[in-house]
Structure 1
């Protein structure tokens, strides 16, 4: 691959990052929608911790790579779904068809959590750290509705020494008198409707449209943060008593880029093993697999097959996530809901 080709790809990545998609992209949000929606804070009856890493477009130098840590838990001394009709015996599958026949919604409660996401794209890096809060309202015997907010800071940095210009005698005005990094406030909102089988939610990240500039030149006004909108829904179907299928869909809008649509399917066996697939319009096909190792640990992996023009130079994308279920008092392999 020629040097000029690398530069073209780098410019493409930078333009996408600066003027459209500014937050990282994930394939396994299906198993951790909390990354995108703060209304999920405290939805489980244990502390849900996840640590993940994504290598996007492997084979391309300076392509995006993302690391994240998330944790959320319910507030209060009482565990959720404490009555006999809404919790299985220790070690039973909480998502089995028999259990779902007796599912009852959780009582109204509060939840909170924290997220930290570090993303690198060539010379650009970004750290987003947020504290989240959600209130879960009991709508009926089967449904809950939660509303959540995420607030924190974003640190955006540019490694000016890593930039190479065709004409070394001139300096791009956007980085003249360069600023190495900048700290911006961050704010997001979300809503989440859920029952034993169905979930649907909407959220917005980066509500505060902060100016992004690495120069002290007041005439430079090209860079700014833009809101990221997400809408998702899914439903769990039972093929038999131990095998379930969960189709879901995600719509993402980040102006001025066209809307992105993901269609997903997860097949689960006793919620102990699962495999799945995902299609992102005009971008990729993905294969996913996971295992609940124990009542404490679960592990998931995804591989994206690139279908865009980048497939000529990319070896696809890899994503791996380790989940930890702290204070899992009912000792089930996975009390995580259908996603």
Structure 2
């Protein structure tokens, strides 16, 4: 009883392949491309460990009246050439002013706790230079944090009487998020905040104390694209995450892409472990990627790593893009 300490942790899930779908972190990416972008992802963290985090999400977003491509398509696959080679990026231009709308649904479960959220998002994009664009976006929706008290039965151990025999306790709360995104032919920088309302949640009917807070989360992303010859693109990127008063945690990733067809990657998450990634653009409509995280903490003695799959669909892709033009 004399050894008392506090434990703090982030409430939003990890995403190893964040660079493939930064929209899940930042609503300012809503409608950034010339097609409707759909992503479905499933992540099983610390596989083999009972009640470890499992995250599934669905996102869809697209532009409204976006017309910044020339009338002649520039990105169709041509045998023997790279549609994302030197000529393509030399002709890159800033986005014409346009709006974007989207939706994201996330289900994140860890043991007896489940966080289900659904948001509608909006963003406005505008060129601020010949090759540089800026977007601002926000999202509004609902978050439902629930506790399954039946999973708190540990045999001979007494369950907290505040929640004992109460079944599933749900906390439905409104929520908002906002973000900014600066991007061009060679770089991107984004900043966003989620859970801005900081709602309190209670798992007991008598609402003892101040409850638990849905703390605001800060996300910062940045990346740079480099051409390695005519056939390869190298994109190093970083993701910074912070939940006050926690220190900043960072992810560092590098993605190496051959033409618009296949890519490989590797990364490191501070105080957690390493990861490897790979993906393929099956066509200009479907893409698939997978990542594996190797945990370097003591959790690697009881788990078999983390698996994450992302399946993507590009609808209304009239210019035949095999991969994104503005988020690579």
| Fold match by TM threshold 0.5 | yes
Per the alignment, residue 293 of structure 1 pairs with 282
Alignment of 1:1-339 (within 5 A): 19-76=8-65, 78-82=66-70, 88-91=74-77, 94-165=83-154, 168=157, 171-173=160-162, 180-339=169-328
SS at structure 2 position matched to 1:180: strand
Q: CA–CA distance in 1 between the matches of 2:110 and 2:150?
A: 15
CA contact (8 A) 1:245 1:268 kept: yes
1:23 deviates by: 1.2
1:109 deviates by: 0.7
1:24 deviates by: 1.2
SS at structure 1 position matched to 2:74: coil
Q: CA–CA distance in 1 between the matches of 2:164 and 2:96?
A: 53
Per the alignment, residue 6 of structure 1 pairs with none
Q: What residue ranges of structure 1 are gaps of 5+ in the alignment? A: 1-14
Q: CA–CA distance in 1 between the matches of 2:128 and 2:301?
A: 50
SS at structure 2 position matched to 1:103: coil
CA contact (8 A) 1:211 1:221 kept: yes
SS at structure 2 position matched to 1:189: strand
Q: CA–CA distance in 2 between the matches of 1:40 and 1:143?
A: 14
Q: CA–CA distance in 2 between the matches of 1:88 and 1:35?
A: 28
Q: What residue ranges of structure 2 are gaps of 5+ in the alignment? A: 1-5
CA RMSD of aligned residues (A): 2.0
CA contact (8 A) 2:150 2:165 kept: no
Q: CA–CA distance in 1 between the matches of 2:159 and 2:42?
A: 37
1:81 deviates by: 2.4
CA contact (8 A) 1:174 1:217 kept: no
CA contact (8 A) 2:153 2:159 kept: no
1:333 deviates by: 1.8
Indicate how the Cα distance of structure 1 residues 169 and 29 shifts in structure 2: closer, same or farther if over 3 A, else same.
closer
Greater helix content? 1
CA contact (8 A) 1:128 1:154 kept: yes
Q: How many residues align?
A: 320
Greater strand content? 2
Indicate how the Cα distance of structure 1 residues 252 and 102 shifts in structure 2: closer, same or farther if over 3 A, else same.
same
CA contact (8 A) 1:69 1:117 kept: yes
CA contact (8 A) 1:49 1:325 kept: yes
CA contact (8 A) 1:179 1:214 kept: no
CA contact (8 A) 2:148 2:167 kept: no
Q: CA–CA distance in 1 between the matches of 2:26 and 2:159?
A: 44
CA contact (8 A) 1:43 1:73 kept: yes
1:216-253 CA distance string (max 9 Å, x none): 22333241110110111111001101111011111100
Q: Mean Cα displacement is larger for which, 53-62 or 217-226?
A: 217-226
Q: CA–CA distance in 2 between the matches of 1:153 and 1:229?
A: 19
Indicate how the Cα distance of structure 1 residues 120 and 185 shifts in structure 2: closer, same or farther if over 3 A, else same.
same
